[in-house]
């Protein structure tokens, strides 16, 4: 039940331009329950009483069409890139333009392929072509949000639904720090305040903002069905210029020993806001913290020669607006222990969502234990420095959309993988998977001991550099690309040890160095 597969950068970049997008999927196989007719009933009567298929349960990974190609390409399968197609099919039946008696995703894919409706990468070429194949189904427009809040985005979509129109939401749309487009479409079924009920072709989840971070929702399609009115009004264009800087992933290294240089590798930030020229909500692509140009990095406070807690500040500036965020890193003392804090953070401390900029006139800023984006659980969250944990129990670790919604897991993490837990609420810790905020039960986790001192090459820290360490390195390299970036087979300390040639990159060159070391 592993989530978050990656796709080819070039292919997906083109899909973003043409109008079809990739979607993450849970890989859960749907179980269809069928009822056999009573043997005493007439065959004709049994046929009449056969229940119709529930189109609400159509998923892009369904065995009946999951392997069908969109446009003929080997990698353009419905399972891989069919979230928009799946949303269109669900919307077509829900709005009354089609019936399950003679329509399904398989039918639609065959029809689109027969008229050349998909491009060479599986992209949907024209919404007009969709309307020709589905009479009564019309995409009025693609609208960018005019709000950057959960409530505002939900209200915009509900404004259209209350008029009798239908919505497909582009719930995830941004370029990550590796240049991959992360994108996903879902069909909206109902909205109640900030709660948006979705029909997700890629998973069984229904809570849109509980599954996908609301700031990644960039735009939406408005669809006119057979019974929708001919005239409509657009949502009011009230907005104010905004800018926000959020840290999607913390750097791989936040704990340092005396003399170690600052290393922000693995940290990723993203800038979002409201464009004051157009009024539309926009998302800039994610930036690696160590090589950012959309925001500035201030590291002058960090002193690797002195044990203590230091704030690293980031600032984004656009259209005369500024947004600040920061992270805390620690330099251990000479014995490898965490130093005492000069000033403990109390419950009365002001933990606002955005971090204030550093005061140039102040010699020392009070320590910040958390600068992560806040959630609805923030007021009751026990905030901690991001620590690494892993699951050593049987099977995989279940992952949930929220600490109070643990009835059905939305993903799982394989046994033994290491990940960072940021905040803890009622024993459930917040983690990130592909930019999505999810939660795990910390009471069944083991905490990684990053206070250990590792010799270069000695990954398992047994005092010998041998074939066991090489095997661990091989396993780690094999896992890259097959799992989300936020989880790893090695801890921060082990990753440092794995870089045996000390070039700052763990790759096949390290394998060669290991072989040389072992054979000497």
pLDDT at 15: 33
pLDDT at 139: 96
pLDDT at 44: 45
Do residue 91 and residue 210 come from a single domain?
Answer: yes
Long-range contacts of 277-280 (CB under 8 A, 24+ apart): 278/144, 279/146, 279/237, 279/239, 280/144, 280/145, 280/146
Torsion-angle region of 172 (φ positive above 0: left; ψ -120 to 50: alpha; else: beta): beta
pLDDT at 286: 75
Do residue 145 and residue 181 come from a single domain?
Answer: yes
User: Is the residue at 37 inside a domain?
Assistant: no
Among 451, 483, 500, the domain-final residue is 451
Return the DSSP state at 124.
B
The CATH number of the domain holding residue 445 is: 2.30.30.40
pLDDT at 292: 67
Residue 368 CB coordination number (10 Å) = 19
User: Is the residue at 62 inside a domain?
Assistant: yes
Do residue 447 and residue 494 come from a single domain?
Answer: no
Instruction: Give 144: exposed, middle or buried? Use CB within 10 Å, 0-12, 13-18, 19+.
Output: middle
Among 224, 251, 276, the domain-final residue is 224
Return the DSSP state at 213.
-
Return d(Cα 16, Cα 111) in angstroms, integer. Answer: 23
Cβ-contact 245, 289 below 8 angstroms: no
User: Is the residue at 170 inside a domain?
Assistant: yes
User: Is the residue at 308 inside a domain?
Assistant: no
Cβ-contact 222, 139 below 8 angstroms: yes
User: Is the residue at 183 inside a domain?
Assistant: yes
The number of domains in the chain is 3
Tokens of 79: 């399972």
Do residue 107 and residue 151 come from a single domain?
Answer: yes
pLDDT at 35: 32
Cβ-contact 156, 150 below 8 angstroms: no
Do residue 434 and residue 506 come from a single domain?
Answer: no
Cβ-contact 92, 137 below 8 angstroms: yes
Return d(Cα 404, Cα 482) in angstroms, integer. Answer: 29
CA angle 416–384–290, rounded 5-degree value:
75
Do residue 140 and residue 189 come from a single domain?
Answer: yes
Residue 96 CB coordination number (10 Å) = 14
User: Is the residue at 16 inside a domain?
Assistant: yes
pLDDT at 78: 94
Per residue of the chain (520 residues), give pLDDT as tens: 333 333 323 333 333 333 343 443 333 333 232 333 333 334 344 455 667 789 999 999 999 999 999 998 888 899 989 999 999 999 999 999 999 999 999 999 999 999 999 998 888 999 999 999 999 999 999 998 988 889 999 999 999 999 999 999 999 887 776 667 788 999 999 999 999 999 999 999 999 998 888 988 989 999 999 999 999 999 887 677 888 888 877 888 888 999 999 988 878 888 888 887 778 887 776 777 776 667 788 888 899 999 999 998 888 887 778 888 888 899 998 888 888 886 544 444 444 444 445 554 433 333 333 333 334 444 444 444 467 899 988 889 999 988 878 888 888 898 889 998 877 777 888 888 876 778 899 999 998 887 777 888 999 888 888 888 888 998 888 888 777 878 899 988 898 889 888 877 888 888 888 887 777 5
Do residue 512 and residue 392 come from a single domain?
Answer: no
Among 420, 451, 482, the domain-final residue is 451
Do residue 165 and residue 59 come from a single domain?
Answer: yes
Tokens of 458: 């000695």
Q: Give the 3-state secondary structure of residue 373.
A: coil
Look at the chain and count its residues.
Answer: 520
Q: Which domain holds residue 416?
A: 379-451
Do residue 86 and residue 142 come from a single domain?
Answer: yes
Integer CA distances (angstroms), 53 to 58, 79, 102, 198, in order: 9, 20, 11, 19
User: Is the residue at 181 inside a domain?
Assistant: yes
pLDDT at 85: 97
User: Is the residue at 1 inside a domain?
Assistant: no
Do residue 444 and residue 479 come from a single domain?
Answer: no
Do residue 142 and residue 209 come from a single domain?
Answer: yes
Do residue 141 and residue 205 come from a single domain?
Answer: yes
The CATH number of the domain holding residue 173 is: 3.90.70
């Amino acid at each position: 039940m592993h989530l978050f597969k990656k796709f080819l950068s070039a292919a997906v970049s083109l899909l973003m331009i043409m109008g079809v997008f990739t979607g993450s999927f849970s890989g859960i196989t749907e179980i269809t329950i069928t009822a056999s007719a009573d043997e005493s009933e007439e065959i004709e009567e049994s046929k009449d009483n056969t229940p119709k298929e529930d189109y609400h349960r159509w998923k892009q990974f369904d065995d009946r069409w999951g392997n069908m190609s969109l446009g003929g390409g080997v990698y353009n399968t419905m399972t891989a890139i069919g979230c928009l197609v799946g949303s269109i099919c669900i919307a077509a039946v829900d709005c009354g333009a089609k019936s399950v008696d003679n329509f399904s995703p398989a039918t639609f894919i065959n029809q689109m392929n027969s008229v050349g409706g998909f491009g060479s990468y599986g992209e949907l070429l024209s919404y007009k072509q969709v309307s020709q194949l589905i009479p009564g189904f019309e995409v009025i427009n693609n609208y960018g949000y005019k709000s950057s809040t959960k409530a505002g985005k939900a209200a915009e979509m509900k404004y259209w639904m209350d008029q009798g129109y239908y919505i497909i939401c582009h719930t995830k749309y941004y370029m990550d720090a590796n240049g991959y487009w992360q994108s996903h479409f879902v069909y909206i079924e109902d909205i109640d305040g900030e709660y948006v009920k979705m029909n997700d072709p890629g998973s069984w989840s229904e809570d849109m903002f509980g599954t996908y971070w609301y700031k990644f929702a960039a735009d939406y399609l408005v669809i006119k069905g057979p019974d929708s009115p001919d005239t409509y009004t657009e949502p009011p264009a009230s907005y104010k210029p905004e800018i926000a800087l959020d840290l999607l992933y913390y750097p791989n290294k936040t704990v340092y020993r005396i003399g170690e240089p600052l290393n922000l590798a693995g940290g990723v930030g993203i800038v979002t806001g409201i464009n004051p020229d157009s009024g539309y909500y926009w998302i800039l692509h994610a930036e690696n913290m160590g090589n950012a140009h959309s925001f500035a990095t201030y590291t002058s406070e960090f002193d690797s020669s002195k044990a203590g807690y230091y704030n690293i500040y980031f600032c984004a500036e656009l259209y005369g607006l500024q947004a600040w965020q920061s992270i805390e890193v620690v330099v251990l003392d000479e014995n490898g222990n965490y130093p005492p804090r000069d000033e403990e953070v109390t419950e009365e401390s002001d933990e606002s969502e955005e971090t204030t900029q550093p005061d140039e006139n102040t010699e020392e800023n009070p320590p910040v234990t958390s600068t992560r984006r806040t959630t609805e659980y923030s007021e009751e969250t026990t905030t901690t420095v991001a620590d690494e944990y892993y699951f050593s129990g049987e099977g995989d670790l279940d992952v949930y959309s929220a600490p109070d919604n643990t009835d059905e897991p939305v993903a799982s993490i394989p046994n033994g993988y290491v990940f960072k837990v940021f905040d803890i609420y009622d024993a459930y810790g917040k983690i990130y998977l592909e930019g999505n905020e999810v939660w795990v039960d910390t009471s069944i986790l083991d905490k990684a001991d990053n206070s250990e001192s590792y010799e270069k090459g000695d990954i398992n820290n047994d005092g010998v550099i041998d074939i066991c360490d090489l095997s661990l390195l091989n396993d780690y390299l094999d896992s890259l690309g097959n799992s989300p970036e936020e989880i790893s087979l090695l801890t921060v300390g082990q990753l440092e040890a794995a870089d045996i040639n000390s070039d700052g990159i763990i790759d096949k060159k390290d394998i060669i160095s290991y072989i040389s070391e072992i054979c000497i």
